[in-house]
Amino acid sequence: MRATAILATAAAVLTAPGVATAAGADGHPAAFAPAQRGGNPVLEDVARRMMAVGPPGYAARIGDGHRVTRTAAGLADIATGRRMAARDQFEAGSNTKTFTAVLALQLVDRGQLKLDAPVSRYLPQVVPNGRNITVRMLLNHTSGLFSYTGDENFMASLASDPQRVWTPQELLAVAFAHEPNFAPGTGWSYSNTNYTLLGMIIEKLTGRGLPELVRQRIAAPLGLRHTYFADPRAVHTGPGYAHGYGVRLAGPQPSYVDTATWPIGGWGGAAGAVISTTDDLARFFSAVLRGELFSAEQLRQMTTTVELPADFPMKGGYGLGLIRLDSACGTVWGHGGDTLGHHSIALATADGRRTVVSVANAEPFDAEPNAGWDRYYRVAMAATDASVCAMLGRPVPASVLEDLHSVGG
């Protein structure tokens, strides 16, 4: 979700079975503990390197049909010392965009929404130049609209007034105070504003709120028992909850701010307010790619991508709420998510058979980018490729290992 952490759309972390840390005397996670026998050596290495750059805990899941490997490492709660569990709930962040896109495409199937209709048809006099911005442009980030999370004052306010619940209209006011990044349809720019608008359109057309729609049209049909839309905060309804932490990396040792009680639904909304687990996200993305939630035509629309810019830190394309990642070991589909305390990614093969989902319960929290941020995202980017390789059963390329081993561990 943080505009300053754009690499998060591609970064993933995986941990190995039996890996754990304990809280040190200062409340920070202690050194990485060795894995138990029988762990995957690649994932053990990934976990070790990731633990060295700040987050207190991880959970991950690799699925291949009926064969599932769940992993967990570190701490879900620094204050109590509770260890991370593989089935813990967490803020899924921008993985929510795929949920929102599914709801939109279901409305297309029902004839209630047109992908190439202007936004002004559904939200008259709400969006500047809305008659030239289509619903499709919102979904694939080609609208040019400035992302409200790119506003420095807005981001600072999330830390200074963390319990504030923002309305969609307030978020739009932040975004529309800035000039568009480009004319509609002439470029690509990741913008949470696009999905705020989609959420407003969906609620207007259905007469229902997003929490109810996610529950009735996605979670219930797929049996996602621990997935819901935060309204506005995460509640501990599942088997456990991984606290999120803002981690400050500028000093000699990381320091942590517990963000577990902050209202992600009060600023993430349709762009990032879903709470889920690794199991549920794996089931969801598998269902999306198998076309279980909408027609084959809408799956075709969703997987029609706009190429990411050449200077973007990952290779691939962006469809309708879905990323095509051209990783070092092959092309996969999914999304990533960042809040003020969680960093996650969910990826699957095109047939939905193989999946990998992981979460780190920390996000860089310094006021300004620094060397710690660079280390975090460099290792996380390499961890994405390594995790995909592990999912596909392929060797990790030397160039990926070089980046993964560049710091820590």
Which CATH number covers residue 237?
3.40.710.10
CB count within 10 Å of CB 313 equals 14
Closest CA to 144 of 184, 95, 87, 203: 184
Question: Widest CA span of the chain, in angstroms?
Answer: 62
- Residue at 376 is within a domain: no
Tell me which long-range contacts 17-22 makes (C-beta under 8 A, separation of at least 24).
17/69, 17/70, 17/71, 17/72, 19/44, 19/47, 19/48, 19/51, 19/71, 19/72, 19/73, 19/74, 20/72, 20/73, 20/74, 20/83, 21/51, 21/56, 21/57, 21/73, 21/74, 21/75, 22/75, 22/81
Residue with tokens 């992993």: 71
Strand ranges in 202-311 using DSSP code E only, listed in sequence order: 228-229, 245-248, 255-258, 274-276, 306-307
Question: pTM surpassing 0.75?
Answer: yes
How many domains does the structure of the chain reveal?
1
Say what percent of the chain tops pLDDT 90. Answer: 72
Looking at the DSSP assignment, which residues form a beta bridge with residue 357?
61, 346
377 occurs within a structural domain: no
Catalytic residue among 94, 147, 286, 358: 94
**Residue 140 belongs to some domain of the structure:** yes
In this structure, is residue 369 part of a structural domain? Answer: no
Alpha-carbon distance of 324 to 103, in angstroms, equals 20
Among candidate residues 310, 327, 7, 340, the one with its CA nearest the CA of residue 156: 340
120 counts as catalytic: no
pLDDT of residue 202 exceeding 70: yes
- 244 found inside a domain: yes
Residue 384 falls inside a structural domain: no
Mean pLDDT of 5-27: 30
pLDDT for residue 66 = 81
Would residue 401 count as lying in a domain? no
Helix 371-392 × helix 41-51 angle, to 10°? 170
Segment 145-171, tens digit of pLDDT: 999 999 999 999 999 999 999 999 999
> Where in the sequence is the domain holding 183, given as residue range(s)?
3-15+83-364
pLDDT above 50 (res 45): yes
Q: Is residue 370 part of a domain?
A: no
